Amino acid sequence: LVKAIQTDTQDAVAAMERSTQGVVEGARLSDNAGTALSEIDRVSRQLAELIEQISASASKEADQASEVASNIQHIFAVTEQTGESTRTTANQVRDLARMADELRQSVARFKIA
For residue 112, pLDDT over 90 is answered with no
Concatenating the DSSP letter of every residue in 14-76 gives: HHHHHHHHHHHHHHHHHHHHHHHHHHHHHHHHHHHHHHHHHHHHHHHHHHHHHHHHHHHHHHH
Residue-wise pLDDT tens digits, 31-54:
999 999 999 999 999 999 999 999
Residue-wise pLDDT tens digits, 61-99:
999 999 999 999 999 999 999 999 999 999 999 999 999
What pLDDT does residue 13 have? 87
